[in-house]
Every structure is written in structure tokens, then in C-alpha cells.
Amino acid sequence: MDETVRKISAEDINPRFNWGRALPALGTMGVDFEERVDYRRLHRYRLARVRQALEKSDLGALLVFDVNNIRYITSTKIGEWERDKLCRWALLARDGQPILWDFGSAAVHHKLYTPWLDPQNCKAGLIGLRGTVNPAFGLMERHAKEIASLLKEAGVHKMPIGVDIIEPPMMFELQKAGLKIADGQQTMLEAREIKNVDEIALLNRAAAMVDGAYHLIHEELKPGVRENDIVAKVNEFLYRHGSDDVEAINAISGERCNPHPHNFTDRMVRPGDQAFFDILQSFMGYRTCYYRTFNIGRATPVQHDAYKKAREWLDAAIALIKPGVTTDKVCKVWPKAEEF
């Protein structure tokens, strides 16, 4: 294991913000002539943030099954097909190193290519695949006992263990093994809440990719084009530009725009339509939820009035945004749901 990563210092928790200049929109490649995203610094920062949040909590350890939390703690990722399987998990005890359970071949891959993890902490594991493997086979029981043993070695087995999401049979097995299960998601969200300079740069890159996607939509959108045609072209654009997951592209036009159905269909765009899009995609795990609305042809007076009113509401909300402001304060400048 790389010792420079293993030893977390106070400096690792420094977000390294520099608000004295505009946020750069640099390329996605690693280069030797300018500093871009420092992924090792990102790894150290995220692990340090989780340790800090764990210390502030009453938890002895975090046991995570959510792929976003696994990536945040261990900086590992496999294919997007994993997202809804609950098939990988990671454990972080107070003062301990991350331990990861993954598919056998993936665990071997991590040992070879993730020097920030202790190789012996990259373990092969499988529990239930959301019920596909019946708990009666004993995999959950075996891994629950293994986890309890590791927590006993770490001296935290009598403390609550924070879990984010979990299959009920696995939770029951952990409880049978003598562990007290508590909510760990809020602790993880507290850790992830403050982004460092590298995370902000990755968010900016993800948004830049969607900027390009919206220009493509602008070029392609015309009467006769279907919502699903646009979705297909945008998927190709984003994956060609490095997206690791196009979660969804909502493409909604004409009379389908209100109420918002959160999907796309084979509806053809017609002259005079409005067309609404929402692009949800990920670059290096940092995600967008980025909306735009287009007119097909000239905007009507009614559409101009609607845009003006929406802009007034948005500007009023933007004026309130500052550190410490909560969303309920922002919502007060918007109309009530019953009125809108």
C-alpha cells in the first residue's frame, strides 16, 4: 500500500478553494504542463472527510452498500450495472483502513491497480444480489460474522455501526452477529457535503459536457425529430466525451411538458412546441441535473411572458444564495405549489 496515501493529515481536509479567479474548465486528460485534477489528493481528501465525520458521530464504523458511498471511501468503481444490485460493500472503522468486498475478479484488479488500498483489504465477496441468492445458502451469515470479527479486531464492535442501505436479511444477520445497526447515511452525507477543489473541477467538467450536449440539441431540434432521437444522440455525445454514466435524459415536448412526466417518448416535435430537457450524467462520479427549455420556431407572446416570470422567480432565489442559507428560506420567494 502507498504510505503517502495511508497517513491522513490535517492538510488533507483542506478544500484548497481559490475564489480569487474564475473556475477553470480544463481538459479531461492528464498532462505534464498544467495542474488539473489531482486524483491522489482527491482520494486523501474524501477518506479524511469520512474519518472526520465518523469521529464526530457516535458510530464505531461505517458499512456502506451504496455505490456512491463505496466510491467516496475507496475510490473504486466497476460497471454501472452494479448500481441497483447491492453486490459490493465497504467497511471503515475508526482509525482503520477501508476494507472493500467486490466480485472476485474485480478484487484482484483492485489489488493490482489501486495502490491507495491495502491489497489484503480488497476481498472477494457476494451476499444476495437483492434476493437472487437465497439467504438460506449462508453467504450473508458468513459475511456478517466476518464483518463482526473485523470490527472486534478494531475495538468498535460494541459501538453502533452505521449503514446506508442494506438488504433486510443481511441486516438481520449482522444483528445476530451481535452488532447494533444505526443510520450511517447522514454521516456519509455530512462527509460528502463540502467539496474540495478537485471535486468542484470535476463537477465543472461534467457541466461542460452537458453544455456541449445542449448545443447539439439546439442544432438537431426541428419539426419531425422525435424525443427519443434526441436522447440517442445525446447519449452518444456524452459517452464519446467521457461520461461514466448517462443516468437519464428527460426529453419532453409540446403538451407533455406539464405536468412533467420525467421520461421521454417517440413523440415528434411540432412547430410552436416548447421542448424541455434534463440531462443526468456522471463524470468520474460527479453528476449533473441540468435543465434547458427550447422553442421550436419563434416564441409566442405567452411564452415570452412565462419566461419573464420564471426569470423573476429564479433571480429572486439566486439573490438569497449565500453560505448558511437553507432551502426553506429560498422557497419563500416562489409561489406556493397550490398557486402554480
Amino acid 7: pLDDT: 60
The crossing angle, in degrees rounded to 10, of helices 67-74 and 39-56 is 110
C-beta neighbour count of 279 within 10 angstroms: 27
Task: Answer yes or no: is pLDDT of 5 > 50.
Answer: no
pLDDT class of 4 with cuts at 50, 70, 90 = very low
pLDDT class of 333 with cuts at 50, 70, 90 = very high
Write down the mean pLDDT value for the chain.
94
pLDDT class of 10 with cuts at 50, 70, 90 = confident
Cβ distance 161 to 179 under 8 Å?
yes
C-beta neighbour count of 5 within 10 angstroms: 18
Average confidence (pLDDT) over 217-227: 97
Among 15-19, 145-149, 219-223, 267-271, the minimum mean pLDDT is found in 15-19
At position 98, the amino acid (one-letter code) is P
Percent of the chain with pLDDT over 90: 87
Compute, in degrees rounded to 10, the torsion defined by CA atoms 41, 46, 49, 51: -110
Q: Give me 139's grid cell.
A: 453467504
**67-101 pLDDT, tens digit each:** 999 999 999 999 999 999 999 999 999 999 999 99
**143-191 pLDDT, tens digit each:** 999 999 999 999 999 999 999 999 999 999 999 999 999 999 999 999 9
Task: Answer yes or no: is pLDDT of 215 > 50.
Answer: yes
> Domains of the chain, with CATH numbers?
3-192 (3.40.350.10), 197-298 (3.90.230.10)
Amino acid 13: pLDDT: 87
pLDDT class of 287 with cuts at 50, 70, 90 = very high
Amino acid 61: pLDDT: 99
Amino acid 60: pLDDT: 98
d(C-alpha 37, C-alpha 26), whole Å: 9
Task: Answer yes or no: is pLDDT of 20 > 90.
Answer: no
Q: What is the pTM of this model?
A: 0.92
Q: What is the 3-state secondary structure (H, E, C) of the chain?
A: CCHHHHCCCHHHHCCCCCCCCCCCCCCCCCCCCCCCCCHHHHHHHHHHHHHHHHHHCCCCEEEECCHHHHHHHHCCCCCHHHCCCCCCEEEEECCCCCEEEECHHHHHHHHHHCCCCCHHHEEECCCCCCCCCCHHHCHHHHHHHHHHHHHHHCCCCCCCEEECCCCHHHHHHHHHCCCCEEECHHHHHHHHCCCCHHHHHHHHHHHHHHHHHHHHHHHHCCCCCEHHHHHHHHHHHHHHCCCCEEEEEEEEEHHHHCCCCCCCCCCECCCCCEEEEEEEEEECCEECCEEEEEECCCCCHHHHHHHHHHHHHHHHHHHHCCCCCCHHHHHCCCCCCCCC
